[in-house]
Structures are given as structure tokens and as C-alpha cells.
Amino acid sequence: MPFLKKARLNLPRSTVLDNRAKKSGLRGTVFSVNGDNYTGEWLDNKKHGWGTQEWKSSGAIYNGEWKFGKHDGYGIFSVLRPDTKKYITQYCGEWKNGMKHGHGSFFDVHATYEGEWSEDNRSGWGRLTYKCGDLYEGEWLWDKEDGTGLTFELRRSPNGNWYEGCWKGGKKNGHGKFYYADKGLIYEGLWVNGDAKCGTLSDSGRETAPYPTKYPIPQVTLLDIQRVLRDAESVYVDES
């Protein structure tokens, strides 16, 4: 029966030397084999305290607080724009265990978000503003609009149609009001997966609206309007 010798798992020499260094306290710039470098404080050979990390491959820079080798506390993460060769801030705010966590602001070419984060996801209360003028302000859960919030749609409507109400999974879900500013109408009722299902449509300044509807809104003569709405809504509630 052949004797199989267990293979030795040798660490790279650079890793062995780095482990032996036992870095603690404030140090000068420390370069890694891959070209990354870090300048700042250490504790038990891990980045700990305040410091700046530069990544050679991506050109990104993090400047802020560290805890046992990970971003933790307040810090600013910047990226290098290929076209201008200049650094722009992508995120500034709170971190925990290497992830965006707490309050912070995120910037990209399309939009800006300012609010609460949890484990690298927008979660809590926050405001997302798009370059085109649209915005959402309200509650978030795992990077999607979820809870109560308000959205303003300038791209689809130059006059600024807007919705205020409930959201779930990034879509209008539950009760809410949609203001058709360009038509001078208000819809109030139930939404399911982004679609209006049942509710009431009322006049809201059609005489001064730029694109008002021409048809008259009929007068509701039901004895119990709310009961009729509840019965209609119950169909969708039961289905969900």
C-alpha cells in the first residue's frame, strides 16, 4: 500500500515576513507585493486606527478609520476617473466591518444618495436624487424603496408628477396618492406591484393644469363609498 505524504502548505515568503513584522502603532508607508500601499496606524499587525489605503489595480483610495484590518468608523472612499485622471469621492460616511453601515453619502454619474446604510445596502431613511431631477425620499430596505416614501418624477413630467405612500421591494405597494400635476388630477387608493388597482380620482386644479383632461369627473352617488372601496381592495389583499 503506497504511503501518501501530506503536502506542505507553505505561505509566500512575503506573507511570512509580514507576519513576523508585528506592526503596531503609527508606521510609515507599507507596500504590498501587488503594489497596494497603506500609511497609518496598526495594532497586532492589522490596520487599526486612522490610515490611508491605495489600491494599485483599481486606483481607489480609502482614507479613514480602521478596526482590525477593515474599514470601521468614519471614512472616505474615492475612485479614479479614467477620462480625467482625477479622484472623485464615491462614498463618505460611516463604515462597519468593512461595509457601508450607518449614515453616509454615495455619489455616481447618475444619482446621489444620502441616508442610512446597513451592511453595504441602503436601509433606513434616505434621499436619492437623480441628475435628471427625479428623486425618492423615504424608507429603504436592502437597497430598495420599502416602507413609506415620496417620489418626484421630473423626467416623465416637466411639471413634476409625484407619489406619496407605501412601497415594497422598490415598487408602489399599499395605499398612496399620485398627483398628476400636468393633468390636474389626484388618484388615491391601493397599489399592487407598482400598478394602481382601485381608488378614487378627483379634480386638483384642472383649470390651471397645462394638459388637463377634457372629460368631466362623474359625481359619486354611492351611499357608502368606503365600504365599496374596502370590498374592492379585499380582492387584491386576499390574492397577495
Model confidence over 181-228: pLDDT tens digits?
Answer: 877 888 899 999 998 888 887 777 666 665 667 666 667 666 666 675
* Per-residue model confidence as pLDDT tens digits over 121-171: 999 999 999 988 889 999 999 999 999 999 988 766 666 788 999 999 999
Segments making up each domain of the chain, as ranges: 21-98, 108-240
* Per-residue model confidence as pLDDT tens digits over 53-71: 999 988 899 999 999 999 9
pLDDT at 159: 67
Are the C-beta atoms of 113 and 127 separated by less than 8 Å? yes
Q: Taking the CA atoms of the chain, what radius of gyration do you get in angstroms?
A: 27
Is domain 108-240 annotated with CATH 2.20.110? yes
pLDDT at 8: 54
Give the integer Cα–Cα distance in Å for 181 and 199: 18
CB burial of residue 77 (10 Å; 0-12, 13-18, 19+)? buried
pLDDT at 199: 83
* Per-residue model confidence as pLDDT tens digits over 71-88: 999 999 999 888 878 899
Give the integer Cα–Cα distance in Å for 42 and 129: 38
* Per-residue model confidence as pLDDT tens digits over 104-134: 999 998 899 999 999 999 999 999 999 888 8
